[in-house]
Structures are given as C-alpha cells and as structure tokens.
Amino acid sequence: MNDTSSPFGVLLVNLGTPDSPTAPDVKKFLKQFLSDPRVVDISPWIWKPILNGIILNTRPAKVAKLYESIWWENGSPLMVISQQQRDKLAQSLQTNFGFNVPVELGMSYGNPSLDLGLNKLKAQGVSKVFVLPLYAQYSCSTVAPVFDAISELHKTKRDFPELRINKEYYAHPSYIAALAESVKQHWQSKGQAEVLLMSFHGVPVRYVTEGDPYQMQCQKTAELVAESLGLSAEQWQICFQSQFGKEEWLTPATDQLLESLPEQGVKSVDIMCPAFSSDCLETLEEISQEGKESFISAGGERYEFIGCLNDSDAHIELLQQIVKQQTLGWC
Ligand SMILES: C=CC1=C(C)c2cc3[nH]c(cc4nc(cc5[nH]c(cc1n2)c(C)c5CCC(=O)O)C(CCC(=O)O)=C4C)c(C)c3C=C
Ligand SMILES: [Fe+2]
Ligand SMILES: [Fe+2]
C-alpha cells in the first residue's frame, strides 16, 4: 500500500448545528431537523401545520439568542469540537494502523451533509466506509436517522462504498472509563458535590414503550459510571433534559429535579451529560447556564457542570478502539 491509499475511511456523524446564530440560519436548521419523521413522528397532517405555522415562526428568534450566548469565535461549539475530534482521530488512527485513514464529518441535519462527507472520502480513494454516529446510546430519534439517510443516499448513486455503521457504545469499557475519568479530574480540581447528576437528552416516553432501547441504555451507562466511581445509590441520579413539545417525555426531567433537590436537602450537585459526545447548546446553555440558575434560585449552594468528552485523549482513544474493533478484516 502506498502513502496515499487507505483500505477504508471513517465518517464521523453528529446531529448538526446551525451555520450561524441568526434566526434565518436557525430556522433553516430546525426546519430540516424537525421535518424528520424519526425525530417527531406524529402524523404529518397534524405536525406540518404546527411546525410551519407556529414553531418555525416563533422558535428561531428565541433559540438564535441562546445560540449566540454559547457561540465561539470560530463557530458553533458542536461544529468546532467535531472538527477537533475528526483531526485528532485521524492522527490517532495513523499512529495505530501505521497508514493514513481518512476521517470526514457528516451531519444528519445542516452542514456538512452526510453526502458531502461520503464524497470527500470517495475523493480520497476509499472503497469501504465505517460510519460512526457519535451517540453512545441508540435512539430511533438519533442513530436511526443516520441509517435512513445512508440508505436514501444509496438509492441515488450508481456506485456506493462497502459500509459498516456503528449502532451504539453505551457500555463500552473505554467509554465508561473516559466518563469516570472526566468526573475524577473534575473532583480533583473542584471537589466532590453531594450528588452526581447524569443528565441525558430526553425522548418521548412513547418511543421507549414502542421499543426504543434508549432509556435502558442510558440507565446502564449511568449505573456503570456510578459503579466505576464507587458511588452509593444516594450519591448519584439519572435525569432527562431538553423536553420538547406536549407529549410525555422521560422523567425525572432535569429542570424539575434541579428545582426540587434543594428542598430535599441536597445543596450541592455535579452534573454531566453522557449522551452528548461534544458540548453544544443543550449542555453549555441549558445545563451549564440555565440549570445553574434554577438550582441556585431554588436554594442550592454549589452547582458544577462537567463538560462532555469532546476532544479529550480518553475520548479519542475510545473512538480509535471502536474503529479498530469494527473494521476487523478490512485491512
Ligand atoms: C423534537 C424532539 C427532539 C428529540 C426526540 C431529540 C432527541 C435528541 N437530541 C439529541 C442531541 C441534540 N439535540 C440538539 C438540538 C435540538 N434537539 C431538539 C429536539 C429533539 N431532540 C431541538 C428542537 C434542538 C435544537 C435546539 C432547540 O431548538 O432547542 C443538538 C444540537 C445542539 C447544537 O448545539 O446545535 C444535539 C447534539 C439527542 C442525543 C437526542 C436523543 C437521544
Ligand atoms: Fe435534541
Ligand atoms: Fe434545549
């Protein structure tokens, strides 16, 4: 094999984010995202008028302000961190495999699209692609849309690479170790709170009762992290954030829990978001900023947010191990 060819490439996939923190770009992003029946699966006859008549006329301006409050000089945190993950994973694969493994990004919604990511890999001469959605827990609202989008693209092409798509890694020992290590590092610099909250993105309860394994996988991740940290049952709790719409979502809801903990005598919490592979609006604004305000104004005294795994060495090591394990036989 020469320096320029590789037997396979990696497509790192995340949800996506607006191009800028402005109402028109947020609207464009939300329109594509919230039109996906995997995300909101109520009848289009009911949903389309609500989406186009109400949500897309009110939410973008409000959410654009929130994005503005967390936006970085070089872009949306989710995008900047995804690019760092891409570059560091490529470096780590080069070191581990001893040859260049192209790594590209593709977002389920917005830019860069999955199609662009696959085209970039094709342009680098790869004929096999390992698709790695950056969600540890499988949900029909996040990972399934990646499967759907890839098979839709398949229908439109004369040729297509050989593919493997990762489904989940919620109990991977290196994922649990990376999360536990991030908590320990946080405790070393800031001290340990009375309770560690593990806040996962919520989904409608109906998705779970209809078979989505997401809640079970979140529970397992949380138990393994707590066990790895040696926490007793009173020292940790699972909760679900970012409720959207009127349906019943998984509980306990993070915002309600934060408001109720101080009156139950819990005055200090550490909070982490294991379902997010990179910090984003949902962690930096909703949990780090808004969550703190709720907890402190309800009588809490100390609130510490533990950032996502992002481009940490332990996270890149995990991704590298998943690639190695799932591409066996490809080189
Ligand atoms: C409409 C219902 C939603 C479901 C179901 C949902 C599941 C889900 N989402 C993530 C991760 C992310 N969500 C992000 C943004 C986001 N999510 C929803 C709604 C649902 N998510 C909305 C409407 C938005 C946009 C912001 C807003 O209008 O409030 C993001 C991106 C954040 C960014 O920085 O751009 C991520 C990542 C998971 C893991 C998940 C289910 C398991
Ligand atoms: Fe979401
Ligand atoms: Fe949110």
Q: pLDDT tens digit string along 163-207?
A: 999 999 999 999 999 999 999 999 999 999 999 999 999 999 999
Q: Is 114 domain-assigned?
A: no
Regarding predicted confidence, which is higher, 212 or 7? Answer: 212
pLDDT, average across residues 107-111: 98
Q: What confidence tier does 1 reach under pLDDT thresholds 50, 70, 90?
A: very low
Of 70, 103, 130, which marks where a domain is finished?
A: 70
Q: Is 103 domain-assigned?
A: no
Of 70, 103, 129, which marks where a domain is finished?
A: 70
Of 13, 44, 70, which marks where a domain is finished?
A: 70
Q: Is 201 annotated as a binding residue?
A: yes
pLDDT score of 4:
54
Looking at the structure of the chain, the number of domains it has is 2
CATH number of the domain where residue 302 is located:
3.40.50.1400
In terms of domains, do 180 and 65 share one?
no
Q: Is 292 domain-assigned?
A: yes
What residue type is 16 in one-letter code? G
Decide: 221 in ligand 1 pocket, CB within 6 A: no
Entry pTM: 0.97
pLDDT, average across residues 100-105: 97
Kindly list the distances between the CA atom of residue 113 and the CA atoms of 11, 29, 203, 249, in Å, as whole numbers in the listed order.
11, 12, 24, 29
Q: Which atom of ligand 1 is nearest to the CA of 207?
A: 5
Report how far ligand 3's centroid is from the alpha carbon of 107 (Å): 18
Domain that holds residue 60: 23-70
Q: Is 294 domain-assigned?
A: yes
Q: Is 239 domain-assigned?
A: yes
Q: Is 151 domain-assigned?
A: no
Tokens 């790192």 appear where? 12
Q: Is the pLDDT of residue 331 over 90?
A: no
Are the C-beta atoms of 126 and 8 separated by less than 8 Å? yes
Kindly list the distances between the CA atom of residue 82 and the CA atoms of 37, 134, 230, 296, 304, in Å, as whole numbers in the listed order.
25, 9, 31, 32, 24
Decide: 51 in ligand 1 pocket, CB within 6 A: no
State the Cα–Cα distance between residues 106 and 195, nearest whole angstrom. 36
Report how far ligand 1's centroid is from the alpha carbon of 11 (Å): 21
Q: Is the ipTM of this complex over 0.95?
A: yes
Secondary structure element (H or E) that encloses residue 175, with its range:
helix 173-190
State the Cα–Cα distance between residues 132 and 111, nearest whole angstrom. 17
Q: Is 291 domain-assigned?
A: yes
Give tens-digit pLDDT for 240-272.
Answer: 999 999 999 999 999 999 999 999 999 999 999
Q: Is 186 annotated as a binding residue?
A: no
